[in-house]
Structure 1
Amino acid sequence: MPMYWRLKRWKADDRERAIDHIAALRKHIALTVPRRTASDTLLLATWNVRDFDSNKFGQGPRLAESFHYIAEVISAFDLVALQEVNEDMRPFERVMELLGPSWRYVATDITEGPSGNGERMVFLFDSNKVQFKHIAGEIVLPKSSLVEGDHQFARSPFLVRFQSGWFKFNLCTVHLYYGDISGEGYDRRVAEIDSIAKFLKKRADADGQNYILLGDMNIVRPDDKTMKALRRHKFVLPADLTLDNDELRWVSNMGGNKHYDQIAFLVRKDELELGQSQNNAGVLNYYKAVYTEGEAETYYPLGKANGKWPASAAKRKTYFAEEWRSWQMSDHLPLFIELRIDFTEKYLKRIRESEQPVDPSTPDATDD
């Protein structure tokens, strides 16, 4: 759990408000996200944390309490892929300090250029639960796979190898091209999704390892070409694994009408299984606990220094709900999934049923 001892130094009003919101957020997380376990399951999440934390758009700055809420959200999971972490890492280190000493991260350099937006992608993980397996790299498409008119990615995908329990996997996070919903920008968006999915499928076919692709894919709709580009390469989505197959569960933007964020799997047989919690996949809507819609006038005095708050209370309510709070937390909500990582019984059954022992001197004698 995050370390909140600095709160005792805050002035009374700020301290009480933050503590009340943290308590509400913890309660909402407990109702929405499965409990973390020591060794049975992995809670994996992806979250685009809006412009963290440059304030280059002049909508902030983020309040001190927002860093506490962000840390609380991250701590609900074991491993989180973050997008839109900016060049200056000092705000990010504030979150790391709150998370505590067991948390680690692996980050990219910034992606430069007009489409890269100076962003990093970061994997945050609790080292008590997740092991970094010392393989990491940004993906650049080989020239042989590019045809005339094709682009490299707007922001380089980030691929890292991890292990949690028995489960070994390569995790690739993306923040793909946004563009338009038609025309050249849309075509580039589809091409980026198709390119990364094709690249990982080729890798998986060659090395037989597990691959998970997650992040802000800017998918338009479940029936759109953007999603078809992902499914074309045999990726499995959480909705495919659930009994109700409810695509609406994967709407992860603040407005509740976008399918941008996704988690998709290319995993070996018998190694992709959801945890047994009833809420083993879904979206965490923290706005039900912090920066709730009725709090515009509470935050107006704290945020008005940005010069963007309207003069009337009615317009301030709209600006707060649709804009300001999204720069404190994000316009995206975390998408998560609970995966089983204890394959002990399957392994013991397999070796019990094997006809003869494996010669330990052979190169492939060690099981993955």
Structure 2
Amino acid sequence: MIEGYRFVDHVLPRMLPSLAFVALASLAWLVPLRSAGSHGWILLGGVAVMTLAAWGTSTVLVRRLPRFSRRAATAFLAVYATMPVAVPLLQLAVDGAVTPPGGRVVGLLGFVIFFAAVFVSTLLATTYGLGTLLRRAVRHSVFDLRNSVHLLGRALPALLFVTLFLFFTGELWQAMNRLAWWRVVLVIVLFAAITVLAAAARLRDEIGRVEQDLSRPTLAAACRGTPLAGVRFEQLAPEGQLPAMPLTPRQERNLLLMLASRQLMQAAVVGLTLFTFFLALGVLVVTPETAEQWIGGKPQMSALFPVIPVAMLRNATLLAAFGSMYFAVTSMTDADHRQRFFAPIIDEVEHVLTVHAVYLAVRERTPAAAHRPGIG
């Protein structure tokens, strides 16, 4: 949500600790443990200490120097781009031969793909703040677990009414007995995608509603306890209403990630409970003879839990995923569920949007402030 959020000025400095860690950790490839014996472990420990020291140093550097010059950014990117070639060349100098898995060409290509994948994943995670979003979602899911009696006591009855009778369907047991686990995972991904699409539609509605209510009392209440609390709103909004500040597509995607991560984590809490319930119900009610009759043959037993048929595990997983999706969607659409489960998340989104509107208005009124670290 930072205005003017650019790669060189904001993203690359935050990527530095992670990229430096990966670049130096790749030097562990040069340590021949089998040939060097105990000395190899000493060298590997030295590489680990050097890597952790570089990570800590770069983290402190980024905090003190939050922006890079164009020359420094170019130099850093050039050094990182040479790592896929530098590591094999260093190994050639140390061992006298480059011996990556699959041969020299395949091994060199593997190094290039690895470093490119690390760079792209770090770029996306830093640009959209995926680490922070994940930590916040986990923290809220822990809160949901602490209040699981309230959450599940209201969510489970409706979910069981939708899914309970499907659990005792013989055709579903036959399908689950033949369905591979990777197909079950794809079905779960499909349910998660539906949840994200529903969250995206709801987010657009909420953005439009917040943009229509940017009055002075709303702005003052949202900015209370923030660095913008001292803003004179009668000067900022002389007509009593702040004009709507449209979001960029990247900012909308970032808000969608925040909303989707919260919804998916909350749905995961419900899904885990549903899975446990169906598994316990299946163990108590569905005897091996009943399972064999539904499946039409001897059921395949689980390798981890020999007394539980694989069809029961897949059945419980599928119904738990469906129930989680149903809960996530109804919590955004049904009035009662929305008030109890979705409103706290939307309140946070509304708070972010309102403070962001004040932040943009302050930048427009005081252009010089846009270059200060606390504002830009």
Structure 2 length as normaliser, TM-score?
A: 0.23
The structure having more radius of gyration, on CA atoms, is 2
Structure 1 length as normaliser, TM-score?
A: 0.24
Could you say which structure has the higher helix fraction? 2
